[in-house]
Structures are given as structure tokens and as C-alpha cells.
Amino acid sequence: MDTLPSPPPRVLLIGAEGTLGRAVAAELAPRHDLLSAGRTSGELRLDLTDGNSMREAMAQAGPLDAVVCAAGNVHFGHLLQMSADNWQLGLADKLMGQVNLSLIAAEYLRDGGSITLTGGILSDHPIRQGASASLVNGALEAFVRAAAIELPRGIRINLVSPSVLVEAMHAYAPYFRGFEPVPAARAALAYSRSVEGAETGKIYRVF
């Protein structure tokens, strides 16, 4: 007797309309049931600074096999000129937003599901005016390593750390002189590795 094919894995992608997010969506969509979410765009509304909105979006999404975040904001500015609010942007949005996303996702993911977060090259190679990004990205890497040993039900967690993207160099070139940019499509491959692989607690560097 023929068996029905299994449905494709259901993936919630936060930040699907951004430069990186569009590449991740293009990479994952052919093999997954992809739901997009964002603060102002996507099929679902999800604000990384609002835990209630994250919980509501995941409840609407239904049972999930993977949660992928390709979003998060930080402030670029001179170290001694940044205000408390400038620092707080990265701490509340990209750092604690992704931390809280992971904790909430663990409640909604199926057994053996995965979480993929986004850091960046500045955790390894700091630049002038990038102290907030370096701080946030380094903290995210530490969180992923620690969370991997405690998440229940076989849930995996990894982080993709890309260099500046080719497609974003028009905006970020002054900050990244001498850095080799990577195409967004190349960075997106690391998200497939995280979602479809077996590893956990890994940092996938795309430099």
C-alpha cells in the first residue's frame, strides 16, 4: 500500500523581507513550508522587542519544525559618543530579541526542531563605530553555545555569522573598508545547514 508523502517541514522566518532574509527565503522555500514574519511585513507580525507579539505569531503559525531569525538592529556610532539609548537598541532588539525568541520558540517547536539566529563578523573582527555590534554578536555566540546544552526534546540551536553582504555594501562600505563582502545567497547556505543538518551549538562563519 502506498504511503502519503510527508508534508514539508514548517519554518518560521523572521526578517524575510530584508536583504539577507530574502536570500534565506529563496534558499529554504523550495524544500520547506515557509512562513514569513516581521515587524511591518510578512504573513505574520512579530516584533523582536515584544515577547507577546512573538508568542502570538508562533501560536498563529501552528506547530513548527524550525524558527529562523534574519533580523535584528544595532546602532553604529563612536564609542564615547553613544548614548544609553544607542546601546539599548542592540541590547533590546538584536540580542535579547533573539534570546527571547529562542526561549519562546522552544515552547512551540516540534521535537527535534531547530532555532537559527544571526550574529555577524564584528564579533571576530571589530571596526571603528561597531562596538555595539561586536558586543551583541559576541553575546549571541555565547548564548547559543550555552543554550544548546539545555534545550529540551532534541531541539537544536545554531547561529550564522556572516560578513558584510555584497548587496549591502552601498550602505555599509564606509564601515567595512578592506573587508571581503559575501553574496547573500552564499550566507543563506549556512541557514540551510543549520535547519537541515544535525549539529547544535555551532557558529557558522560566512567570511
Per-residue confidence at 3, pLDDT binned at 50, 70, 90?
low
In a domain, 34, yes or no: yes
Task: State pLDDT tens for residues 50-98.
Answer: 999 999 999 999 999 999 999 999 999 999 999 999 999 999 999 999 9
In a domain, 2, yes or no: no
**Whole-number CA gyration radius for the chain:** 17
pLDDT at 6: 84
In a domain, 5, yes or no: no
Q: What is the pTM (predicted TM-score) of this model? A: 0.96
Q: Span 5-31, mean pLDDT?
A: 96
* Rounded Cα–Cα distance for residues 62 and 33 (Å): 12
Per-residue confidence at 116, pLDDT binned at 50, 70, 90?
very high
Number of domains in the chain: 1
Lowest-confidence range among 3-12, 72-81, 194-203? 3-12
Q: Across the chain, which distance is largest between two alpha carbons, in Å?
A: 70
- Residue 80: domain span: 10-206
List % helix, strand, coil for the chain (3-state, nearest 5): 45, 20, 35
pLDDT at 118: 98
CATH number at residue 153: 3.40.50.720
In a domain, 53, yes or no: yes
Task: State pLDDT tens for residues 172-185.
Answer: 999 999 999 999 99
Model confidence at 5: pLDDT above 80:
no
In a domain, 75, yes or no: yes
Per-residue confidence at 186, pLDDT binned at 50, 70, 90?
very high
pLDDT at 178: 95
pLDDT at 2: 57
Strand runs (DSSP E) across 3-154, as ranges? Answer: 10-14, 33-38, 44-45, 64-69, 109-118
